[in-house]
Structure 1
Amino acid sequence: MMTHSDIRKPFPWHILVFLAPGLLIYLTVSVYPLLDTLRLGFFSEDKSGATFFVGMQNYANLLFSEVWSEPFWNALKNNLMFFVIHMLLQNPIGLLLALLLSSPRLRLSGTYRTLLFMPTMLSVVIVGFVWQLLLSPLWGISEDFMYNIGLGDYFDAWLGKEGTALVTLSLISVWQFVGIPMMLIYAALLNIPEDLNDAGVVDGANSWQIFWNIKLPLLLPTISMVSILTFVANFNAFELIYAVKGALAGPNFSSDIMGTLFYRTFFGFQLQQGSPTMGAAVATLMFLIILIGVAIYLFFVQRRIQRFQL
């Protein structure tokens, strides 16, 4: 006599049927290019275009050779500065805006929320060209506007100077994408039970104490997620720098980041000849930097936040 435990359920083949198309697309457009890029980074090419195995030589050239190391370390330093400016400005401003929009005393909060999020939906290329026109000393309106409000003496060709080009581009990027952390944190604020805020008021806490002791601890998972998304997005950045400053990321490579360095290395630009193998090495190092950053977040930040929630 067969028992219930002896009856095996048939394998759910229908699940594979539904997963197969999406999995096939993912493997084709994401996994295979990534693996092929990792493979190509271990090769070099001769004048005829034939590739041959060189091991870690491409990576050694990027990190230590006179020709490749200076552009690489310059791009990495600029990328880190690009990320730090976003972390210090974009995410705190997003948090502040989310707090203001979540206030029940604010009228037309939906209108403000839409207006603040609208730049995020615009093309990065369009935003770059518009700001380039606005900040131009020749035909831009920024100089006249600053003179009209009494700040004309502070106007300068910020995009045309080595010391200010990268910072200016970072601020443009912050302006465009501040709506993303704002909306994510705003959604998290709406999920905080009002009972907790009311309990804090009953205990005599003021608005600052309620935010610091009640809201902020509950927002930490969202803030940490926003931070890692900012890190990944900044090290994948390319469009804004390319649209405003071109592939050379001038002046004098002062706004060069990993994305523009990869573009020039892989495809070539002006007098620089393209090298798919060196470009693959640059892309692999970009991938490793992002992977290390995400791993640090998962092991040192996310685990502590989970313990705090428990």
Structure 2
Amino acid sequence: MAGKKPIRWHIAVFLAPAVLIYTAIMILPLFGTLELSLFHSSPDGRTFVGLDNFRTLFGDPRWAASFWNALANNTWFFIIHMLVQNPVGILLAALLSHPKLRFRAFYRTAIFVPTILSFVIVGFVWKLILSPLWGVAPSLLDLFGLKALFSPWLGKEEYALTALGLVSVWQFVGIPMMLIYAALLSIPDEIIEAAEIDGITGVAQFWKIKLRLILPSIGIISILTFVGNFNAFDLIYSAQGALAGPNFSTDILGTFLYRTFFGFQLQIGDPNMGATIASMMFFIILVGVCLYLFAIQRRLRRYQF
């Protein structure tokens, strides 16, 4: 028939490799984890137990205490990034987007470089820097007469998680900075010129004009921060080990999952309970992403330039 549209087989051909790889390394392991959480393993084989592992996680005082402690620490870790990393990233992007600022490329590169460093390197180096025995932090504070403010932050339960959260902020602040910087550059010059004609310049221009135009980008950064922080593991593990000391004060869902699944020291690994924790991490992230997509993103006004 003359009016019949041709089937575009080339689209499926080009998408097939990406779909197959994504399915193999993401979809199948996800369903495998969910399946594993519904079974109990014993020397006699696997037994289907339904939601009993979840009941154990929330009903057994030993498991529940560890889970809620890890979840609370994870939440605080996320809040630190939302209250410090993203606002600082927006501020840096606003400063670097100023047309009269010199050496902008150098500053952008210097701030972004830590994001490409290995977690192991970052955790080990900052542990050395903050060490009260051989670290350079006491000496640096002493140069400004502030040595009295130094404390072994990574060794105190009340400070350890916050200190590691700020280290993570230092490492990843370049990501929101670059995303917001790109969003600011995409604002048409006509809008900026119109604002200047109306007498809106400087800080007022950013708050009244630019900030509203980049709200969708800020929303994307926020949800990426949420997903990244509730999947966190590497920095805590490299700095504080699998036990996430002192006294589990830096224990997050990632380290809790690691100890449970693989075992550590005197704790015997339990893949089924580990899969249960991993499933809860997935559901928490899924709920957070859905809340953003259906409750927040719909209300963000998008501007067509």
Q: TM-score range by the shorter chain?
A: over 0.9
Offset of residue 227 of structure 1:
0.3
Note the residue ranges of structure 2 that are not aligned, 5 or more in a row: none
Question: CA shift at 1:209, angstroms?
Answer: 2.2
- The CA distance in 2 between the partners of 1:49 and 1:216, in whole Å, is 61
Deviant stretches of 4+, over 6 Å: none
Question: What secondary structure does 1:4 align onto?
Answer: coil
**For residue 35 of structure 1, what is the aligned residue in structure 2?**
31
| 1:96 counterpart = 2:94 | no
**2-structure distance, mates of 1:49, 1:11:** 53
Residue 161 (1) aligns with residue 156 (2): yes
User: In the TM superposition, what whole-angstrom CA distance separates every residue of 1:165-213 from its partner, at most 9, and x where no partner exists?
Assistant: 0000000000000000000000000011122122112112242221122
1:221 aligns with 2:221: no
- Cα 1:49–1:97 shift into 2, 3 Å: farther
Inter-partner Cα distance in structure 1 for 2:192 and 2:9: 50
- Amino acid of the structure 2 residue aligned with 1:258: L
When normalised by structure 1's length, the TM-score is 0.95
SS of residue in 1 equivalent to 2:47: strand
Matches within 5 A, 1:71-220: 71-220=66-215
Once residues 18 and 199 of structure 1 are traced to their aligned partners in structure 2, the CA distance between those partners, rounded to angstroms, is: 44
**CA 21–205 in structure 1, closer or farther in 2 if over 3 Å, else same:** closer
Cα distance between partner residues in 2 of 1:65 and 1:20: 45
Amino acid at match of 1:81: W
State the alpha-carbon separation in 2 of the partners of residues 96 and 9 from structure 1. Answer: 51
* TM-aligned CA deviation for residue 9 of structure 1: 4.3
- The equivalent residue for 2:2 is 4
Q: How does 1:217-296 map to 2 (within 5 A)?
A: 217-296=212-291
* Change in 2 beyond 3 A, CA 1:49/1:135: farther
Q: CA deviation at 1:309?
A: 4.1
Per-residue displacement from partner, 1:208-242 (whole Å, max 9, x unpaired)? Answer: 22112210110100000000000000000000000
The two structures, once aligned, show a CA RMSD in angstroms of 1.3
The TM-score, its normalising length taken from structure 2, stands at 0.97
For residues 143-167 of structure 1, the C-alpha deviation after alignment (integer angstroms, 9 at most, x for no partner) is: 1111111110010100001000000
CA distance in 1 between partners of 2:276 and 2:55 (Å): 10
Q: Does 1:21 align with 2:20?
A: no
Of 195-204 and 159-168, more deviation after overlay is shown by 195-204
Count how many residue pairs are aligned between Structure 1 and Structure 2: 304
Q: Deviations over 1:90-127 (max 9, x none)?
A: 00000000000001111001101100100011111100
2:40 alignment counterpart: 44
Distance (whole Å) between structure 2 residues aligned to residue 202 and residue 283 of structure 1 = 55
Secondary structure of the structure 2 residue equivalent to 1:163: helix
Return the offset for 1:16.
Answer: 2.8
Q: Which amino acid letter does the alignment assign opposite residue 39 of structure 2?
A: F
Sequence identity (%): 57
Once residues 133 and 69 of structure 1 are traced to their aligned partners in structure 2, the CA distance between those partners, rounded to angstroms, is 34
